[in-house]
Structure 1
């Protein structure tokens, strides 16, 4: 279990939960005044999920079973909202969700079903597509994936170091981001039409700057060589650019190369309008 540092008087960690036997973000119980910001931090977690349009989110009351409340199974532990237990924060009414979540936690946390009120300061587990690295970034902590062995760095010259840095940035958040883009683009390169999955990569339009920038509309799915050219600038222009009206612009220095055939053509777009990439002039 690894702690996620926050500014709140509450304990947050990421790892394997030995109560639900699931992996995720764990907010320790705040009962008895032990963690006075327990509820504030929980609401902040929900705000962060909304800010990045997180999906596949499930929240569990992960309190330890007692003789009075044995929490029969994980299904019972799930927070329910509008008859759902897996949430898409892109479309959720957050204020209503927060109020409902508090009610659900109180209800599931009752030691005695006959009592009118339960405590909301229960131990909670949040599962989603976010990993430990993502949560650290959301709370302003250093990305564990950006920590590169210092000895290797010291032995690199300036060009090698820049190459390593770009590769680390390129692969950061690729797992979840790439899966989302593969689905949105039907496993097809937006420029070439290639369907060789092993070569398809998630490309950021606006530079990667934390988990909030790894959303489908800020990316496109590109074959690895096209992705490299998309990330390389010559005289302030990408070697392969895509315009605001989705036209491919191949740099004049590539005239006569195998890439010139794509110049002026349109890219393939996702079926869902909300997933369309946002390129700028």
Structure 2
């Protein structure tokens, strides 16, 4: 294990990558994700946890909520933050290359099953990249919401979806932007995607008029109308962008 040595740019990139996928409140030397990446880095879990706390001091969203990381840090943390905070695509691409080299485990081994490994050329490369991006986006969104549905408060991971607010097909530059995501259960994810519900600029849930004809159904009442005009869970980091919510209100929502 490296002790007392300065962190390199590559190591700091991995620390920022981990910062994005671990809830800040659950960052500790005992967190399994931190232990995993600390082993790859050859650092102690305590050292990686401390580095994540240093990075947290740069996050304006945490500052707004009076959540602070360690007060002292290095310029390299600021440089990495400024380079990748608004460019998650580049962060994931560079971080995964570093992880692949340090862990001596290929991305194919990490993300493809035995049948998918038989693919060749661009098809295999495209599948690997898709899996890497999907995994990062899901981990970022679920960590921001502490693995909790923003509408219902449900915490069953297998039933939670990292929903895009503005569809990735409509804006490829923001497909990995965590401010373009929200953690929803599978039913509300589908309803949100199809425009049957939206979230307004005050972060309130709005139900589309098209659902009203089903209002006598107890299931519809329990799943939808129960939450009408209620405020969603606001995450400590990666709060949904009002710009993306406005797009959803105007372009996807079926109307209230």
Could you tell me the TM-score, scaled by structure 2's length?
Answer: 0.45
Higher helix share: 2
Q: Larger radius of gyration, structure 1 or 2?
A: 1
Q: Which has the higher contact order (CA 8 A, sep 6+)?
A: 2
More strand by share: 1
TM-score computed with the length of structure 1 as normaliser: 0.41
